[in-house]
């Protein structure tokens, strides 16, 4: 949440960098009044008017820079799932990056098999470029490799979570006893 000082509301999307922050106040130093829709910053004797999302839990901190006020909120979990079963996930299996076992159906998930092949292929390209002393191309190739591998890992983790949600299961990583 960011609003210009003196302005009400505003949905200004902006990345906050630590060097831009001029002052940070801990959430414990802030009094929240949900009815009046205000935050009272004790240290500054400052009252801020703001809207709170329906799943608001508490204020973690407030940060000020020259132009904006940033309010770091903690939100309540959207929903709790009553978990009776768990999907076991092991990340050390050779041949598949991640293997999951669904106890309700006895089904195995083998995800990310292409990770090792993709990493090996990029490592071969990188070795050739390094040997040819093409530093700029090597750096671009390294960045591309990291992006592709991170994207693959994101897709694998999303698949695990979606499978667990569909079957009403939780996840257990590396503790498959």
- Residue in 160, 149, 145 with CA at minimum distance from that of residue 98: 160
Q: Is 32 helix (H, G, I), strand (E, B) or coil?
A: strand
Report residue 65: phi and psi, to 5°: -125, -165
- Residue in 21, 39, 22 with CA at minimum distance from that of residue 31: 39
Q: What residues does each domain of the chain span?
A: 2-75, 85-173
pTM of the model: 0.49
Tokens coding 128: 């050739």
* Per-residue pLDDT tens listing for the chain (177 residues): 444 444 444 444 455 555 666 788 888 889 999 999 999 998 889 999 988 888 888 999 888 888 888 888 888 887 666 667 777 777 766 666 677 777 777 787 778 878 888 888 888 877 877 777 777 777 888 888 889 888 988 888 888 888 888 877 777 776 444
Strand order across the 107-111 sheet: 107-111, 98-102, 85-90, 169-173
Q: Cα–Cα distance between 145 and 118 in angstroms, integer?
A: 8
């Amino acid at each position: 949440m960011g609003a210009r000082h003196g302005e009400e509301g505003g949905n200004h999307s902006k990345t906050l960098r630590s060097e831009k922050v001029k002052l940070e106040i801990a959430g414990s130093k802030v009094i929240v009044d949900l009815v009046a829709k205000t935050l009272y910053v004790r240290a500054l004797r400052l009252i801020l008017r703001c809207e709170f999302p329906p799943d608001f839990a508490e204020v973690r901190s407030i940060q000020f820079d020259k132009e904006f006020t940033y309010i770091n909120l903690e939100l309540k979990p959207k929903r709790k799932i009553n978990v009776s079963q768990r999907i076991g996930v092991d990340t050390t299996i050779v041949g598949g990056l991640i293997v999951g076992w669904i106890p309700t159906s006895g089904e195995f998930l083998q995800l990310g098999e292409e990770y090792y092949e993709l990493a090996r292929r990029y490592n071969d390209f990188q070795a050739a470029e390094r040997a040819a002393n093409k530093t700029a191309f090597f750096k671009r190739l390294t960045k591309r490799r990291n992006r592709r591998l991170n994207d693959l890992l994101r897709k694998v983790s999303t698949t695990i979570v979606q499978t667990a949600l569909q079957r009403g299961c939780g996840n257990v990583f590396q503790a498959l006893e």
